[in-house]
Amino acid sequence: MTLNSITFEFILLQISVAFSPGLIIALVVNESVQKNRISGIKVAIGAAFGALIITFLSAILVSYLFSSIPTILTFIYLGGTFYIVFKGLKTFKTSPLNLSLNSSEYLIYSGFKLNLSNPKMWVFFLTVLPIFVANKAQIFIELVYFGIITVFINLFADVSYAIFSNYFFKDASTNMKLLINKISGISLIAIGVYLFFSRFI
């Protein structure tokens, strides 16, 4: 397969992943609803910077340890899947206000920190992106290439949530905000279970 056809398949996959509710989207939506869409967009920008760091770190790791990657993937899947389920349960039980931030000065940093510590992001970059590498001799370049595509698609999805959440949920009730948290939590649990069964069963 050519890089162009692989890129098209990857974009289709990434769009479906990027628009599924998760920790960043939960925070983006909550900030947009409680404050304004600019606050949500700031979180999204911070998350994009975090994803850029993950892009380069994961590309370095995979390119240097490619020969032993099955062992690394086993460790990442075991730790990552269980942690994703744990975070999903925690998000599911969190009250809506607990996802809001105390000061707008830290919105970008909070998005950055949350994405950088998000096991779902690390699992995706370390296990899914290498599947789409067409030329192992160019593995670092191609991983960065797919990583940058991921960053821009995720940023577009997060900003879209910020804009439309503010428009549709400006006067949302606590129950509506709690529903957003529950959807995010269930989605993370589903992702963790799927990753576990697809890898080990």
- Spatial separation of the C-alpha atoms in residues 104 and 82, rounded to whole Å: 32
Residue-wise pLDDT tens digits, 55-77: 999 999 888 777 665 566 566 55
pLDDT above 60: residue 173: no
Residue-wise pLDDT tens digits, 134-158: 777 788 898 999 999 999 999 998 8
Q: Over the chain, what is the mean pLDDT? A: 75
pLDDT of residue 98: 45
* Cβ neighbours for 144, distance < 8 A, ≥ 6 positions apart: 55, 56, 59
pLDDT of residue 99: 47
Q: Between 134 and 47, where is the model more confident?
A: 47
* Cβ neighbours for 152, distance < 8 A, ≥ 6 positions apart: none
pLDDT of residue 120: 74
Q: Between 193 and 45, where is the model more confident?
A: 45
18-24 mean pLDDT? 72
Buried b / exposed e along 66-77 (16+ C-beta atoms within 10 A) = eeebeeebeebb
**Most confident option among 6-10, 90-94, 121-125, 169-173:** 121-125
pLDDT of residue 136: 72
Portion of the chain with pLDDT greater than 70, in percent:
67
Q: How far from the centroid of its chain's Cα atoms is residue 159's Cα?
A: 13
Q: Between 104 and 142, where is the model more confident?
A: 142
pLDDT above 90: residue 133: no
pLDDT of residue 14: 74
163-181 mean pLDDT? 64
pLDDT of residue 181: 67
Backbone conformation region of residue 120, classed left if phi is above 0, alpha if psi is from -120 to 50, else beta? alpha
- Spatial separation of the C-alpha atoms in residues 1 and 17, rounded to whole Å: 23
User: If you ran DSSP here, which 8-state letter would residue 170 be given?
Assistant: T
Q: Between 19 and 80, where is the model more confident?
A: 19
* Cβ neighbours for 45, distance < 8 A, ≥ 6 positions apart: 108, 111, 155
> Three-state SS for 11?
helix
